[in-house]
Chain A
Amino acid sequence: MSTVESPDTNAPKILIITTIASSYTGANTVGQARAQYAPNTYIMRVPDPVMFPEDFYLRCFEKGFSGIIIMSSGSDCPYEGAYGRLSARVGRVYLTMREKGIPTNRLKLTTVCTVCKHAFLKEIDDMQKVVREQAA
């Protein structure tokens, strides 16, 4: 162990909220394929992001996350009505973000399945650009 490539512990951080049924496995699939992305990405595993109250996201921004990607199971969600509720909830978070002057592109609701390697990497790529622009 010798290499020290990025001693920058202050790199803008991205929180990735994943679902047990779908996108968490999707993130594992990306790992199994040894696809590479930057380590400023923190994956959180939950049954479904519909559980989070709106202020959870705002608190994450306050605490230091620069971007949040919610990778839901979308229409393949095993929980009835959860996706509709989640998107309505995220819609309300956007309103509050606007009121508070937080750029809404720092929060992204998307759908990633168990094998969506490209979608997973693309979402990260897109959010990296957003957080880099914010930091600049």
Chain B
Amino acid sequence: MSNLEPNEPHVGVYICHCGGNISDVIDVKRVATELGLHPNVVISREFPFMCSDAGQKLVIEDIRSGKINRVVIAACSPMLHELTFRKTLQRAALNPFLYEHVNIREQASWVHKGDHEGATQKAIRLARAGVEKILLQDELEEIQAKATKHVLVIGGGPAGLKAALNMAARNLRVTLVEKSSRLGGHLHELDTLYPSGESASALLAKLLAQVNESPLITVVVGTTVTAWDGFVGNFTATLSSGATVNAGAVIMATGYDHVIPAGGEYNYGGDPRVTTLPKLIEHLKTSAGKPLVWNGVPVKSVAFIHCVGSRQTEGVHAPQADGKVNDYCSRVCCTAALHSINVLKARQPDLDIYDLYRDIRTYGRGHEAIYEQASKNGVLFFRFTEDAQPEIREHTVVVKDILTWGEEVEIPADLVVLVTGIKQGAVGELIDMMKLPVSSDRFLQEAHPKLRPVEVANNGFFLAGNCQAPMDLVESSAAAGAAASKIAALLSKDYIPLDPYVARIDSEKCTGCEACIPECSYTGALFMNEGTKKAEVNAALCKGCGACVAVCAPRALDLAGWSIAQMEAMVDAMVTEVPA
């Protein structure tokens, strides 16, 4: 029988064997026994598989019996099963946030296989820390934000068009804002497309017809977003026309810009024989089927040079405007170059083509066949290293070819095609206005590359296409589809449930010192109430970063679910001795 008052926390602790994954290393019985000694722990069990139906039923029955009102499960990583067990609590009509998940598998049994005693002691301490944390946990409630069932898509390239169509297919209204005078983005510049061989113009015409036919899509061209306000479920965008759009979510589909070779790089700009891959493709598009003529001169030999403006190294390449080099791979250019080579060879089989590369990255489905075809077409490949760039001479290109052990080879070239990379478009103003995270390569950053690949950490923002990273049409289209289905799920109900892990303020303790205000990077999330002279949080705008918490001397501010008091209690539990 417990000596606890009914309103005190009664904790149930469950130690999972994970079918031996945990119990082969950690003495789970001893962990359960030790935890059972804690004054607030009224049930402490171990069980073969806590995530199984039987394991969850055990928890539900214990809750329903009225013996426990808090749950700690020591098992695998919370990233796998935190949500599973929250739902278990919900099924037993207990607040799902009165649950703490302790990782004793990935961060204990699997990494301390040779030290069973050490791993067991660690598991005891970690489980105790979980108990201490949950003792200080309140019944958190999901935050509910109104869901405006209208989506703003910024950028009318192929990714934006696909995103808009995907959302209209899910019955969502869409406003598609395009900065230039026409929809289609870089699809306008492309000729036949790899890997399908389809015509870019035909694909664009198909997409535009579908967009025009949809009564749910409103297109505004020659327009940008000039002001931004609101939060997930209820954003307001002001357009350059002065109109406003109210949207529940937004898809960034602003695409890319071509890298222009730095002044004088490979004589670009000075030597008329030197051009870029996008310019060659444009030429191919307007000279269908004809042999290659450049500046009025028939071309007999072409040299392609890969990785121009991509995979740059500090000290070797001139930095970009922000002082950093483009150290990333632009991904699409290898295949695009080899595809153009095959198009040229099909038109003009006697054309001599030399391909100077650092690595060939034909990574996508069907791309390797394009490389093989280029080899079969008699293209000669030379491989150079970043510190020995090919040199452009009057009618030739000189390359130190590492495939022939560094031999210097002089290649005839009537035309030199620089296989230029791609970079983030000019979206600095949007980034500042919307406070979007940017990764070190300047592209927009997803919340998590594997777990949340099309979502931005800022709630309600999604990514499609090349504004996130270099990608081809197949990948851009897949990202657009993924973003659209994420949004369809987000806006499916009248309210959007938000994680309750946001800053909150105990106004009794707040002295109005304002120290927290400059710590917050998100406009409107944290502000001073002019009437009460106390700080206040707008839960829908707060990102839960905790930056403000650290500076609040009277500890009026805390992150719900992650309070400093909870973290301190965990620390104390982690250093408390365990009987050997």
Contacts and interface: CB of A to CB of B under 8 A. Distances in A.
B117 A51 contact: no
A50 interface: yes
A5 B521 contact: no
B546 A46 contact: yes
Interface in A15-43: 15, 21, 24-25, 27-28, 30-32, 34-43
Contacts of B115: 5-6, 38-39
Contacts of B105: 31
B77 A82 contact: no
B107 A44 contact: no
B439 A76 contact: yes
A92 to B, nearest CB: 11
Interface in A79-131: 79-82, 85, 89, 114
B475 interface: no
A114 B450 contact: yes
B577 to A, nearest CB: 5
Contacts, number: 168
A79 B519 contact: no
Given A5-B118, A28-B107, A85-B519, A47 B546 contact: yes
**Most chain B C-beta atoms within 10 Å of own C-beta, residue among A2, A39, A60, A85:** A39
A28 B568 contact: no
Contact of B546 (A11, A51, A76): A51
Given A39-B119, A51-B545, A51-B559, A9 B103 contact: no
B241 to A, nearest CB: 29
B337 to A, nearest CB: 30
Interface string B560-573: 00101001101110
Interface in B71-122: 77-79, 103, 105-108, 110-119, 121-122
Contacts of B107: 27-28, 31, 43
Interface residues of A, number: 57
Q: How large is the interface on B (under 10, 10 to 19, 20 to 34, 35 or more residues)?
A: 35 or more
Contacts of A2: 116
Contacts of A35: 111
B574 A42 contact: yes
Contacts of A54: 550
B543 interface: yes
A79 B547 contact: yes
Nearest to A6: B118
B106 A27 contact: yes
Interface string B420-461: 000000000000000101011000010111110000110000
A13 B113 CA distance: 18
B344 interface: no
A81 B439 contact: no
Contacts of A4: 116-117, 580
A47 B562 contact: yes
B549 interface: yes
Given A39-B112, A47-B546, A48-B546, A56 B437 contact: no
A75 interface: yes
B545 A82 contact: yes
A46 B546 CA distance: 9
B501 interface: yes
Given A39-B118, A59-B568, A78 B457 contact: yes
A19 to B, nearest CB: 10
A135 interface: no
A22 B116 CA distance: 28
Contacts of A85: 519, 547, 550
A38 B115 CA distance: 8
B567 A46 contact: yes
Nearest to A31: B106
Contacts of A28: 77, 79, 103, 106-107
- Among B117, B544, B578, find the residue whose CB has the most chain A CB atoms closer than 10 A: B117
Nearest to B133: A44
B369 interface: no
Contacts of B437: 77-80
A136 to B, nearest CB: 20
Contacts of A5: 114-118
B323 to A, nearest CB: 15
17 contacts: A4-B116, A5-B116, A11-B118, A21-B457, A25-B79, A31-B106, A36-B112, A40-B118, A43-B107, A44-B571, A46-B562, A51-B547, A52-B564, A53-B551, A64-B575, A78-B437, A78-B457
Interface of B: 23, 27, 29, 77-79, 103, 105-108, 110-119, 121-122, 125-126, 129, 435, 437, 439-440, 445, 447-451, 456-457, 501, 519, 521-522, 543-547, 549-552, 559, 562, 564, 567-568, 570-572, 574-575, 577-578, 580
The 4 closest A-B pairs by CB, nearest first: A51-B546, A31-B106, A78-B457, A39-B118
Given A39-B112, A44-B567, 7 more contacts: A3-B116, A28-B106, A31-B110, A48-B545, A51-B550, A63-B572, A85-B547
